[in-house]
Structure 1
Amino acid sequence: MDDAIVSRAASGSINWKEPAPRSCIRGAVYTDSGDIVDDSERPGGTGSDLRVVTVNPRHLTGKERKEAADHVVRGPWLYAGSWMQQFGHFIVETLPNLWPLLRDEEAGAVRGLVAHRFTSRRRHPWQDAMVRPLIGEREIHVVDSTPATYERLMIPSRPYLYRTAISPRAAEVWKCVADRIAPEDASHPSRVFLSRTRFVDSLPKDAPGRARSYANSGAVDDLFRQRGFMVVYPEELTVADQVGLVRDAEIVAGAGGSALHLAAFMRSGRVIELGDKRSRTNLIATQRAIAAVKSQLIVHLPFHADFRGAFDVGSLDERLASIID
């Protein structure tokens, strides 16, 4: 699209009694006449999808269009959607939007990426680490409160629509990143267990992340260690090392959530998702989508609590043995 307007970004809370959505975001691409480009919007806001709804106007005001006209960016650029600050959502939402870079005729043409911030202004080093294998040292613009006009902007269709559809293009991007990002001397364990124990221990006592943790997570780690798994604490490793560990694994296991979304970078193999208080008996939708497009065999081990409310390790061991032995 020529002379594409990238609107300002905004986010905030929704104060009402309904459980979802709880927050809202704003940020999309518009034509030079101010009409929204539907493919640029992030769908969502219901169920467990972060409870964040998109609230873009269908037509930009003259004031915002004028402000965008005062900030013109020359050359061709690629729109990457929302610059998600959540690790798992960045893997399944932001990263797959870079699929045009896998086409030789487009990869060399763009000057860089432009995206809208999501609900946070914070930038993480791991975000750059994931996209650099595809774009090299080209620029990354994360738009916040100042709209801009891009001389030429490529707006790709989104490979992943939460709970609706996922395209093989997502798997193509993950494969390319996995092939390029992992260090040469990466170890290649056949079985990897992605533990949340140390991450949860580092959280404040009232942090929401603790609600999903197991009271006996150390015992769960020990069980997987005894079953031949390399127990990994992802937050202590670089992104490159995390991808390198799972890429060639035969089995990757872990509690449902962001860390287990690293299974997107596996070349082949099986995935074991442990249930928790949030997803006791059902696969997390995003994990199911990753497994579908990667043709992975995936098993969900339901959360069964013992008399203390902790994970029943004996029951877990029996189910685990039936899968891997």
Structure 2
Amino acid sequence: MPSSTKVYVDRDPHWGIYTEAGELVVEAAYERMAHRELVGQSRSLNLIGIDIFDGPFQEMVYAGPIVAHYGHFILASLARLWAVDDSRPALFHSFPPIFDHGARFIVEMVAAAGLTRDNAFSFDRPTRIRRLFVPEPSIVEQCYTTPAYSATAAKVGEKIPKTECFGRKDYYISKAHMNSGVICLANEEVVEQAFQTAGFEIVHPETLPLADQVSLFRNARTVVGTVSSAFHTAALAPEATGRHVLFDYTRTPNANYRLLEFGIRADVSYYSISDYVTPGDKDQFLVHYKANDIEALAKEMVRISNSSIIMRAVRTFRRKLRLLEEGRKKDIHRRSG
């Protein structure tokens, strides 16, 4: 059954891969959380009276849903691509068709995975596939990850063009210019200014092409910000050794951030700012946080970030001293031998 043209996948009870009897093919389901909760879909559908068309291919491999949200795309829409190659056409759940999406990051990442209009398809009506190969997802949000996911994300990242717009500097990721999303912080411009005064460059990722977003994580010395999908970009630059400092509105970071750490070399730290903020509602955002004292919060975030950077520099310096000492001892041993 195709994706709905009107609602997001988690609110659509009809899309998915079903047997001819109307039973959901669980192996092809989009699931999240430790208990593998369905994201939309239904355990069964009544297919009586529904016109089902024959697909153009006898065999396909299921590649999962194309999720238009940036963070969920990097997680869910890359999850099954480890098993997609030129041997069979790939079937996605997508509306509009994959290469017609207005979000350029979707088109660019799917193309970087080696897919084209000739081997990646989605259907806008109920369609029968005679033989469908369903690979296991290499990552399930807030549940588990595998080396296959990290390898897929790295492969996609390698195909993203390299740019030089960001250097070995310290950056603060801001959502102050975003009009909609999941989480926002009121008056984040005050935090921006505090970090700018402290020597950080301010970045608004949603204004950047994908190549520049990847460049940020490839090259930055430090990337600081409140928790957001922008940090998922690190999965596309796994060899980068910068430091990431994430400020969380709760006491416990969302598990997705921790899952992505398994595949990257960056040094990642989390700090809670829950004592400084209270949640509320805002039409364009799922959760809208307001700081009780935004200037005090900004000052504390800068202090923590600078302390974190200094501590990393100290650890790096100590590690280099240790390696030099080990090398000196080996050299002495060689000479004495």
TM-score band, normalised by the shorter chain?
0.7 to 0.9
Aligned residue number for residue 18 of structure 1: none
Task: Using the TM superposition, give the Cα deviation of residue 290 of structure 1 relative to its aligned residue in structure 2, in angstroms.
Answer: 0.9
Aligned residue number for residue 289 of structure 1: 259
**1:268 lines up with 2:240 in the alignment:** yes
Aligned residue number for residue 193 of structure 2: 222
Residues in 2 aligned to 1:310 and 1:100: alpha-carbon distance in whole angstroms: 49
2:191 and 2:294 in contact (8 A); partners too = no
SS at match of 2:220: coil
**Structure 1 pair 143–136 and aligned structure 2 pair: CA distance change class (3 A):** closer
Give CA deviations for 1:172-223 in whole Å, capped at 9, x if unaligned: 1111111111335554434333221222xxx2xxx675x62142x2232233
Aligned residue number for residue 26 of structure 1: 14
What residue ranges of structure 2 are gaps of 5+ in the alignment? 277-290, 311-337
SS at match of 2:162: coil
- Structure whose CA Rg is larger: 2
Residues in 1 aligned to 2:148 and 2:271: alpha-carbon distance in whole angstroms: 29
**Structure 1 pair 94–307 and aligned structure 2 pair: CA distance change class (3 A):** closer
**1:8 lines up with 2:20 in the alignment:** no
Divergent runs of 4+, >6 A: none
Residues in 2 aligned to 1:26 and 1:252: alpha-carbon distance in whole angstroms: 40
Give the stretch that moved more between structures: 219-228 or 122-131: 219-228
Task: Using the TM superposition, give the Cα deviation of residue 138 of structure 1 relative to its aligned residue in structure 2, in angstroms.
Answer: 3.2
Tell which has more relative contact order, 1 or 2 (C-alpha 8 A, sep 6+): 1
Residues in 2 aligned to 1:58 and 1:52: alpha-carbon distance in whole angstroms: 12
Q: 2:82 aligns with which of 99, 105, 109?
A: 99
1:264 and 1:290 in contact (8 A); partners too = yes
What residue ranges of structure 1 are gaps of 5+ in the alignment? 1-6, 14-21, 102-106
Sequence identity of aligned pairs in percent?
19
CA RMSD of aligned residues (A): 3.4
Q: 1:212 aligns with which of 173, 179, 184?
A: 184
Task: Using the TM superposition, give the Cα deviation of residue 294 of structure 1 relative to its aligned residue in structure 2, in angstroms.
Answer: 2.8
TM-score (normalised: structure 1): 0.74
**1:252 lines up with 2:240 in the alignment:** no
Aligned residue number for residue 93 of structure 2: 115
**1:42 lines up with 2:14 in the alignment:** no
Residues in 2 aligned to 1:53 and 1:178: alpha-carbon distance in whole angstroms: 26
Residues in 2 aligned to 1:301 and 1:312: alpha-carbon distance in whole angstroms: 12
**1:74 lines up with 2:57 in the alignment:** yes
Aligned residue number for residue 140 of structure 2: 161
**Structure 1 pair 113–223 and aligned structure 2 pair: CA distance change class (3 A):** farther
**Structure 1 pair 8–186 and aligned structure 2 pair: CA distance change class (3 A):** same
Aligned length, in residue pairs: 287
| Alignment-mate amino acid for residue 299 of structure 1 | S
